[in-house]
Amino acid sequence: MALIKTVRGYTPKLGANCFLAENATVVGEVVMGDHCTVWFNAVVRGDVHSITIGNNTNIQDGAIIHCTYQKAKVVIGHNVSIAHSAIVHGCTIEDNVLIGMGAIIMDDAVIGTGSVIAAGAVVLPGTKVEPGSIYAGTPAKRVKDVGPEMQEVIARTARNYPLYAEWYK
């Protein structure tokens, strides 16, 4: 069973039909929408500020979601995929976004709707990623627009993770 822990008087609130892997950790001021999944060794740590997650969002193996005390909360939209070992810290991720494996999103960044952050990219504090953009590199920079094929990858990934979760129930 996942570690769900009350911290500073805040207990995580999970939406309907969420899946948390046995060794996932969700603590503190976390509100998660419906049909979300938090996978093996992922940590959603709302101990120092709030974390709000929309519907149908997946947080894959080893990903870390955290905030900055009294400064930067995390807001994650609907149909977001946060890939393996990514770090999402004190930022906003709008709807229909794919965060690649090992990417790092830092405080006060805003990832626009329909965007992709490439694997291994580092999005610096305060960066505003335009909707429908692909950002890559260290520091992350815009490389091109999200085309129809990548839009399908974003949608398919978000759609498939609740299916995968059913295999574990």
Task: Please name the residues in contact with 78: beta carbons below 8 A apart, sequence gap of 6 or more.
Answer: 33, 54, 55, 56, 57, 95, 96
Mean pLDDT of 13-36: 98
- The reported pTM is 0.97
Identify the pLDDT of residue 169.
Answer: 86
pLDDT above 90 for 1: no
Q: Residue 14 forms beta bridges with which residues?
A: 32
- The CATH code of the domain that includes 41 is 2.160.10.10
Query: For residue range 119-165, what is the model confidence (pLDDT) as tens digits?
Result: 999 999 999 999 999 999 999 999 999 999 999 999 999 999 999 99
Query: For residue range 85-127, what is the model confidence (pLDDT) as tens digits?
Result: 999 999 999 999 999 999 999 999 999 999 999 999 999 999 9
Range(s) of the domain holding residue 117: 3-168
Identify the pLDDT of residue 87.
Answer: 99
Q: How many domains is the chain partitioned into structurally?
A: 1
Identify the pLDDT of residue 114.
Answer: 98
Buried-exposed string 48-64: b where 16+ CB fall within 10 A, e elsewhere:
bbebbbbbbbbbbbbbb
Query: For residue range 33-57, what is the model confidence (pLDDT) as tens digits?
Result: 999 999 999 999 999 999 999 999 9
Identify the pLDDT of residue 2.
Answer: 96
